Amino acid sequence: MSQSERKLHLNAFLFGSGHHEASWRHPATKPELNLDIRYSQQLAQTAERGLMDSVFLADGYAGRSNKLEPFTQLAALAMVTERIGLIATVGTTYNEPFHVARKFASLDHISGGRAGWNIVTGAQSAAFNFSREEHPEHAERYDDAEEFVEITKRLWDSWEDDALVYDKQSGVQIENGKVHEINYKGNYYAIKGPLNIPRPPQGYPVLVQAGSSDSGKELAAKTAEVIFTAHQTLAGAQSFYADVKSRLAKYGRTAQQLNILPGFSPIIAETAAEARELEEELNALTNIEAAVGRLSARFGVDLSEYPLDGPVPLHAAKQLEEVNGNKSRHQLVVDLARSEQLTIRQLVARLAGARGHLTFTGTPVQAADVIEQWFKNGAADGFNVMPQIYPDGLDIFVDRVIPELQNRGLFRTSYEGKTLRENLGLAKPANLFQSAKTTIL
């Protein structure tokens, strides 16, 4: 595919009242609607009106949260949309492959082939909610995750695509010879199978991965079809893009089989002045004390003991090898503070917008300029769009930015297909059992 034929892929990261941590306090938002399914249904319909590829729900298993469980929520979104993909985060460390395979197969059937799985290993804080005294080490979590994903794929394949026959004359509903035990035994799991639901319409839900550590990049190169990632600069995004794409060949994959979508968290208004005014309003609503507390937990040092307008004490922060959580995000925050020589107050303000993702404040045309620059210069196949304020931020992106991208020939004017795979330009995976039969024949 030539550069002129490539089209952007855009995901809408649904996140309550917005990705700015103070968005819930802004007069334009209604955080009390976060648990109202009609609110998220309207957001999904807005994203679909903009012909976006997918919507995404992040999830975790610890802390206080004002959001719904994603499988339940996405099933409800499937009922009021037709083409847009439905992606959910599900961690491997605190789940079982059979459960995850069954739930995603169900979501894919409910949605007619629009499910996607954002694969993460899970947060350290979740361990105590699952009868564990400590979080597994980083390398062990990724080894476990690789085996976990392999099992789920085999479970999805345990039903051949034509196993359901519904032959009323013979009385046969399911052709037994086309439903298979997987009999998997690995280092972490031993699973007999088969799955107790037919193969998903897409074969496998689209596999998304969000880790950007070296282990995360390797897992993505081997298994992922979409990567959600975070970068502050064009150069950093270009380096990541080239690195991950270069790893694909050893797994027999091409660059077109993996879409890299950095986070893009905009504040957009008709004029740059209006956008800056909204940014200032949001920053003024930020709870500095709470934000410093979260940053202290990330760095492993009590930042309240340091002056807010003094430099970030990076000398006291955890070293990367001491981090047993999101290593890539830790490094991104450290690099940001060091390269721009930020004060604690300035770093808090930068992270308030989108927790380390690329933030932007300006007009629709200026937003399109940034998107085009990254897309055309080897930094992105599209973007994980993260409006800092909902619903207004998604509305203006869909109504003003997307038409600008379409005018430039960068984004679709209609959906290419009915499934998420078709719209992302991804092939349906061959069934392992059917492929084995073909090879024997």
Three-state secondary structure of the chain: CCCCCCCCEEEEEECCCCCCCCHHHCCCCCHHHCCCHHHHHHHHHHHHHCCCCEEEECCCCCCCCCCCCHHHHHHHHHCCCCCCEEEEEEECCCCCHHHHHHHHHHHHHHHCCCEEEEEECCCHHHHHHCCCCCCCCHHHHHHHHHHHHHHHHHHHHCECCCCEEEECCCCEEECHHHECCCCEECCCCEECCCCCCCCCCCCCCEEEECCCCHHHHHHHHHHCCEEEECCCCHHHHHHHHHHHHHCCHHHCCCHHHCEEEEEEEEEECCCHHHHHHHHHHHHHCCCHHHHHHHHHHHHCCCHHHCCCCCECCHHHCCCHHHCCCCHHHHHHHHHHHHHCCCEHHHHHHHHHHHCCCEEEEECHHHHHHHHHHHHHCCCCCEEEECCCCCCHHHHHHHHHHHHHHHHCCCCCCCCCCCCHHHHHCCCCCCCHHHHHHHHHC
When the pLDDT of each residue in the chain is averaged and rounded to a whole number, the result is: 93
Q: What are the structure tokens assigned to 180, written together?
A: 């298979």
d(CA 9, CA 285): 33
Task: Please tell me the pTM assigned to this model.
Answer: 0.92
Higher pLDDT, 16 or 439: 16
Residues making up the binding site = 59, 89, 138, 142, 212-213
Residue 295 has, within 13 A of its CA and on its CB side, a CA count of 31
Domain residue spans of the chain: 9-269+356-440
Question: Residue 326: which pLDDT band, with cuts at 50, 70 and 90?
Answer: low
Per-residue confidence (pLDDT) for residue 4, from 0 to 100: 65
| Most confident of the ranges 53-57, 296-300, 305-309 | 53-57
CATH T-level assignment (fold) for domain 9-269+356-440: TIM Barrel (3.20.20)
Per-residue confidence (pLDDT) for residue 435, from 0 to 100: 74
Q: Over pLDDT 90: what percentage of the chain?
A: 74
Mean pLDDT for the stretch of residues 210-239? 91
Mean pLDDT for the stretch of residues 269-287? 96
Mean pLDDT for the stretch of residues 62-75? 92
Give the orientation angle of helix 272-284 with respect to helix 344-354, to 10 degrees: 110
Question: Residue 383: which pLDDT band, with cuts at 50, 70 and 90?
Answer: very high
Per-residue confidence (pLDDT) for residue 291, from 0 to 100: 86
Q: Over pLDDT 70: what percentage of the chain?
A: 96
Residues making up the binding site for FMN = 59, 89, 138, 142, 212-213
Q: In this structure, are residues 94 and 65 in contact, taking their beta carbons and an 8 Å threshold?
A: no
Per-residue confidence (pLDDT) for residue 295, from 0 to 100: 85
Q: What are the structure tokens assigned to 413, written together?
A: 């004017």
Question: Residue 441: which pLDDT band, with cuts at 50, 70 and 90?
Answer: very low
Q: For residue 239, give the amino acid letter.
A: S
Mean pLDDT for the stretch of residues 15-19? 96
Question: Residue 394: which pLDDT band, with cuts at 50, 70 and 90?
Answer: very high
Pick the closest to residue 205 from 297, 15, 74 (CA basis): 74
Per-residue confidence (pLDDT) for residue 3, from 0 to 100: 61
| 440 pLDDT more than 60 | no
Q: Is 441 exposed, middle or buried, given 0-12, 13-18 or 19+ CB atoms closer than 10 A?
A: exposed
Q: In this structure, are residues 8 and 382 in contact, taking their beta carbons and an 8 Å threshold?
A: yes
Per-residue confidence (pLDDT) for residue 98, from 0 to 100: 98
Mean pLDDT for the stretch of residues 290-297? 84
